[in-house]
Structure 1
């Protein structure tokens, strides 16, 4: 039994035909059929049967499919682990961010790095929760964490920057709706927030703030756009507020705000990985506001 046999079996079922499996794998349909026949011979059971024009799983084929998927996943994971052990800045790695850190801002910031390292492939994921490094979910995670709560023998954490969220509204919105003087005044306003439980990205405990209307948007660019378009009061980074194409004003800055320390984290097993280290060194060399929106990107919006 080889990997091509398992792939032929898996994609024939998941894609619906030997023809589509052949297209996926770059083989001919007749070769896929031969791989399936050889697989059934080695397994000693019929795995597929015809139902009309389609191949479907037999009862034993259904059992084998789950094991085949596990084997293929383990093979891919083993390859990825070997790539991580490379002492060269090459290969593929996965990076995760929380929704409040815009992947658009990150991509703009790291484009020179990617252009200078064409041998590197990057998969960026937006994850609300901290990823599971042990399961190999990602290689690097960038988000707000408290390094004191980490197992330092298993996870490395390096400080990158601090997000200082404040509330803002457009000048036009304030002229129409009035300037809130206290938290209680917000009950007559429209609030825009990252989560249902709080105005800011990270909610330590639910905040019971009353408002006339509540909009939940987990994208910082969309929140900035909503504030600029007079929709309501929302959390922005001061850097973004300064670059706004519309006049925006601070709201209750001394009463409602949040600062989040952002760290570059990765499993200790990647401490010697050249790619992970080179990427961190590059991020460190960028301006303080590289993860908070760049002037060129804001101008394009």
Structure 2
């Protein structure tokens, strides 16, 4: 199979049409179309359904695209390994983490890592969705639950403690709850939206000590954990937050300190095939060292 045609096919799928693929590769649209037709003739199968709104892969096209994607990933890995040594880690590293951990705990430390390893370039992807590491949507993930896939290396980083917090300004106006029942008379802030169920449960003061079918009303529901913490800090009410996000903040106070609150273990996860990649090794060792020193 002609690699040049296969690469062109990959770029067409990625771009969505012949024109954009041609612009990326520096060739005209008709040349791209001719080469794709030649590839289809070589393989004796149609790869695309031509549609006025764009190109749609056929079943054969899907099979070929997965193969081309795998080849491209492996070529990228090989190129980066050839330019990298164990003494001087280099290359691109895609790191995914939840919005909370990535936007606060990891973001505070990433500059130090970049100073230590100036030839490593990091793309930080903040999302509560679990990206597919096997398909190389990211190289390394920090996750809030143990991964189920057997081909992923995992290392527990640290335990995250969650507690109820309120701004000092809010407590001065409305007083501090002493018992769970006191929450009935306070403004509660909750996390909502399209989040994993276990993340939503962590932030749900509305059902603490209550029948889940009869929760307290929340005065404010937001779909972003960072926005939730800003609302707490600004005195909108009482909400749940991880200790790493609130520690050292003189404007907020932990309330209901005698009430048992939820905890989560965080994990550093990456594919088995990246075990010996130098930039992955040094990033792993950097984060593990920070976690072991309880660097919060």
The superposition leaves residues 204-235 of structure 1 with CA deviations (integer Å, 9 ceiling, x where unpaired) of xx983832315444644322211111111112
Q: Which residue of 1 aligns with 2:258?
A: 254
Q: Which residue of 1 aligns with 2:66?
A: 70
User: Tell me, what secondary structure is at the counterpart of 1:283?
Assistant: helix
Q: Which residue of 2 aligns with 1:94?
A: 94
Q: How does 1:209-248 map to 2 (within 5 A)?
A: 210-213=215-218, 215-217=220-222, 219-238=224-243, 240-244=245-249, 247-248=251-252
| Structure 1 spans left out of the alignment, 5+ residues | 293-301
User: Tell me, what secondary structure is at the counterpart of 1:5?
Assistant: helix
Q: Which residue of 1 aligns with 2:268?
A: 264
Q: Of the candidates 155, 163, 166, which is equivalent to residue 166 of structure 1?
A: 163
Offset, 1:56: 5.9
| Structure 2 spans left out of the alignment, 5+ residues | 192-198
Q: Which residue of 2 aligns with 1:185?
A: 182
Q: Which residue of 1 aligns with 2:32?
A: 32
Q: Indicate how the Cα distance of structure 1 residues 157 and 23 shifts in structure 2: closer, same or farther if over 3 A, else same.
A: same
Q: Which residue of 1 aligns with 2:194?
A: none
Q: Indicate how the Cα distance of structure 1 residues 34 and 223 shifts in structure 2: closer, same or farther if over 3 A, else same.
A: same
User: Tell me, what secondary structure is at the counterpart of 2:226?
Assistant: helix
Q: Which residue of 1 aligns with 2:277?
A: 273
Offset, 1:111: 2.1
Q: Indicate how the Cα distance of structure 1 residues 187 and 98 shifts in structure 2: closer, same or farther if over 3 A, else same.
A: same
Q: Indicate how the Cα distance of structure 1 residues 135 and 9 shifts in structure 2: closer, same or farther if over 3 A, else same.
A: closer
Offset, 1:268: 4.5
Q: How does 1:11-160 map to 2 (within 5 A)?
A: 11-12=11-12, 15=15, 17-44=17-44, 62-79=58-75, 82=78, 88=86, 89-103=89-103, 105-126=105-126, 128=128, 134=134, 136=136, 138-145=138-145, 155-160=152-157
The superposition leaves residues 97-143 of structure 1 with CA deviations (integer Å, 9 ceiling, x where unpaired) of 23431335423411232344344333433454666655555432223
User: Tell me, what secondary structure is at the counterpart of 1:76?
Assistant: helix
Note if contact 2:105-2:244 (Cα within 8 Å) is conserved in structure 1. no
Note if contact 2:49-2:58 (Cα within 8 Å) is conserved in structure 1. no
Note if contact 2:45-2:60 (Cα within 8 Å) is conserved in structure 1. no
User: Tell me, what secondary structure is at the counterpart of 1:101?
Assistant: helix
* Partners of 1:48 and 1:285 in 2: CA distance: 50
Q: Indicate how the Cα distance of structure 1 residues 150 and 67 shifts in structure 2: closer, same or farther if over 3 A, else same.
A: closer
User: Tell me, what secondary structure is at the counterpart of 1:179?
Assistant: coil
Q: Which residue of 1 aligns with 2:196?
A: none
Note if contact 1:98-1:128 (Cα within 8 Å) is conserved in structure 2. yes
Offset, 1:270: 3.7
Q: Which residue of 1 aligns with 2:287?
A: 283
Offset, 1:95: 2.4
* Partners of 2:149 and 2:34 in 1: CA distance: 51
Q: Which 10-residue stretch deviates more, 126-135 or 73-82? A: 126-135
Root-mean-square deviation (CA), in Å?
A: 4.0
TM-score (norm 2): 0.72
TM-score (norm 1): 0.71
User: Tell me, what secondary structure is at the counterpart of 2:262?
Assistant: strand
